[in-house]
């Protein structure tokens, strides 16, 4: 019989009830039974009432007194304790049903992170497994440090469990990613090679970029965020030798995606391993760390002196932009994005057509 569908009766015979039947059949009082077992009357009373478990030592004594093999007594005890545990677990699961009003489980299921069409306590079970906790009531403690750090942000407060689900799934995927030990010097040296991948067609850069990052100790995860999680990127250290950089795929053009990626690289290279960073879409975090990461991304993608000279030349034709992009080793879309960010080129400029627009797998499935 398949273990997943095996029949489990909704009752179990307490060993104490069987013991009491044998005691009565043998004509023994509780005191006399206690004397034969070498126990106090109180201990026997608790044994009969199920408050005291049948241990292997007790089972051997019962075998000697009544002739019923010790393994039978132990089997009764094991089944009874399992039954009690399942009853307690059922009650605990029912007490956790209120979490379904807070956790965006439908959005999580649509992304394939938990099975779809689960209801009630089965859904609670799936969410426990997803977050890696024995009870959903433990979530505030597990994620407490993160909540304390980011609850001040309105973007975090609005849908905090959607964000935390995204972070949890990112960790699950990163844990399966085999990475070499992190090497800051090697990552910094590889930045020109990494940004050159932006020139590949469409999303062809994804696999080689993730593979190259893994060799540098960076678990790079591209992961759509559940509805409501207004996040674009995150960086946090999983171990002292492995850092997770996570992108939400919220941004649909290459200039935004690559700037976000290099912003996260800035956190990795400039800031401490004990810190964790969550960057919200359209956020206006004025902290020094975020400003430093922004500046890092800008100068690593395009040399500041070269950009200054290009702007001073004043030729923003399609041909000039494409040639400058080749010289800087980045996609033309990144150049256009930087020019628009500096208000040199309007956002409705025809140059916007040089940007690459992405359509990710989860968007294709949902269409």
- Span 327-353, average pLDDT: 94
The reply to whether 123 and 216 lie within a common domain is no
Domain containing 278 equals: 164-359
Q: Which of 97, 95, 62, 99 is nearest to 77 (CA)?
A: 62
- Span 6-25, average pLDDT: 78
Position 69 in a domain: yes
Phi and psi torsions of 194, nearest 5° = -70, -45
pLDDT recorded at residue 294: 92
DSSP 205-236: THHHHHHHHHHTTEEEEE-PPPTT--EEEEEE
The span from the CA of 264 to the CA of 259, in Å, is 9
* Residue with the two structure tokens 């540098």: 216
The reply to whether 122 and 264 lie within a common domain is no
Position 152 in a domain: no
Mean per-residue pLDDT over the chain, rounded: 88
**Residue 269 pLDDT greater than 80, yes or no:** yes
**Residue 7 pLDDT greater than 80, yes or no:** no
The reply to whether 191 and 256 lie within a common domain is yes
CATH number, position 35: 1.10.260.40
Give the residues across from 253 on adjacent strands.
Answer: 357
- Span 6-34, average pLDDT: 83
**Residue 148 pLDDT greater than 50, yes or no:** yes
The pairing of strands 218-222 and 242-247 is parallel
pLDDT recorded at residue 367: 45
The reply to whether 73 and 205 lie within a common domain is no
The reply to whether 89 and 113 lie within a common domain is no
The reply to whether 78 and 107 lie within a common domain is no
Q: Which of 135, 129, 98, 93 is nearest to 114 (CA)?
A: 129
- Span 326-331, average pLDDT: 96
**Residue 5 pLDDT greater than 50, yes or no:** no
Sequence-separated (6 or more) residues with CB below 8 Å from residue 59: 70, 71, 73, 74, 77
- 279: confidence class by pLDDT, cuts 50, 70, 90: confident
Q: Which of 216, 224, 212, 284 is nearest to 248 (CA)?
A: 224
The reply to whether 185 and 300 lie within a common domain is yes
User: Are residues 103 and 127 in contact, defined by beta-carbon separation less than 8 angstroms?
Assistant: yes
The reply to whether 179 and 112 lie within a common domain is no
Position 86 in a domain: yes
- Span 44-52, average pLDDT: 92
The reply to whether 201 and 227 lie within a common domain is yes
- Structural domains counted in the chain: 3
**Residue 160 pLDDT greater than 90, yes or no:** no
Model confidence pLDDT, tens digit, residues 57-66: 999 999 999 9
Helix (H) or strand (E) holding 170: helix 160-175
Worst-scoring range by mean pLDDT, 77-81, 142-146, 348-352? 142-146
- Span 42-69, average pLDDT: 94
How does 248-260 read in b/e, with b if 16+ C-beta sit within 10 Å? bbbbebbbbbbbb
Model confidence pLDDT, tens digit, residues 121-143: 999 999 999 999 999 999 888 87
Q: 294 vs 287, which has greater pLDDT? A: 294
The reply to whether 233 and 283 lie within a common domain is yes
Q: Which of 294, 341, 345 is nearest to 320 (CA)?
A: 345
Model confidence pLDDT, tens digit, residues 86-116: 889 899 999 999 999 989 999 999 999 999 9
Model confidence pLDDT, tens digit, residues 200-258: 998 999 999 999 999 999 999 999 988 888 888 999 999 999 999 999 988 789 999 99
The span from the CA of 171 to the CA of 130, in Å, is 11
The reply to whether 68 and 112 lie within a common domain is no
- 2: confidence class by pLDDT, cuts 50, 70, 90: very low
pTM equals 0.77
**Residue 322 pLDDT greater than 60, yes or no:** yes
The reply to whether 129 and 176 lie within a common domain is no
**Residue 190 pLDDT greater than 60, yes or no:** yes
Q: Which of 157, 176, 194, 164 is nearest to 269 (CA)?
A: 194
Sequence-separated (6 or more) residues with CB below 8 Å from residue 163: 156, 225, 229, 231, 278
pLDDT recorded at residue 147: 56
pLDDT recorded at residue 276: 85
pLDDT recorded at residue 144: 66
- At how many degrees (to 10) do helices 184-196 and 254-270 cross? 170
**Residue 173 pLDDT greater than 90, yes or no:** yes
Residue at which a domain ends, from 61, 95, 129: 95
- Span 187-208, average pLDDT: 95
């Amino acid at each position: 019989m398949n273990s997943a569908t095996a029949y489990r009766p909704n009752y179990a015979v307490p060993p104490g009830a069987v013991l009491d039947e044998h005691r009565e059949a043998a004509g023994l009082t509780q005191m006399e039974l206690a004397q034969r077992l070498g126990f106090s009357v109180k201990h026997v009373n608790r044994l009969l009432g199920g408050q005291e478990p049948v241990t292997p030592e007790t089972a051997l004594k019962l075998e000697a007194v009544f002739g019923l093999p010790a393994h039978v007594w132990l089997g009764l005890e094991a089944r009874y304790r399992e039954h009690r545990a399942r009853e307690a677990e059922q009650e605990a699961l029912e007490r956790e049903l209120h979490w379904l009003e807070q956790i965006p489980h439908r959005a999580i299921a649509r992304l394939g992170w938990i099975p779809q069409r689960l209801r009630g306590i089965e859904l609670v079970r799936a969410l426990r497994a997803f977050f890696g906790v024995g009870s959903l009531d433990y979530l505030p403690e597990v994620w407490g440090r993160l909540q304390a750090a980011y609850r001040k942000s309105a973007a975090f407060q609005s849908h905090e469990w959607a964000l935390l689900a995204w972070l949890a799934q990112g960790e699950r995927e990163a844990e399966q990613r085999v990475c070499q030990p992190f090497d800051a010097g090697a990552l910094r040296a590889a930045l020109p090679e990494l940004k050159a991948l932006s020139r590949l067609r469409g999303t062809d850069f994804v696999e080689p970029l993730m593979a190259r990052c893994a060799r540098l100790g960076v678990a790079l995860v591209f992961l759509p965020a559940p509805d409501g999680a207004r996040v674009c990127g995150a960086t946090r250290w999983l171990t002292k030798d492995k850092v997770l950089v996570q992108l939400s795929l919220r941004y649909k053009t290459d200039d935004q995606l690559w700037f976000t990626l290099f912003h996260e690289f800035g956190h990795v290279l400039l800031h401490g391993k004990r810190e964790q960073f969550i960057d919200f879409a359209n956020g206006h975090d004025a902290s020094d760390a975020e400003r430093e990461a922004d500046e890092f991304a800008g100068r690593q993608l395009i040399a500041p002196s070269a950009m200054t000279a290009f702007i001073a030349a004043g030729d923003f034709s399609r041909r000039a932009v494409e040639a400058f992009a080749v010289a800087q080793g980045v996609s033309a879309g990144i150049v256009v994005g930087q020019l628009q960010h500096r208000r040199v080129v309007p956002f409705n400029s025809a140059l916007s057509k040089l940007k690459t627009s992405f359509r990710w797998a989860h968007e294709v499935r949902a269409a």
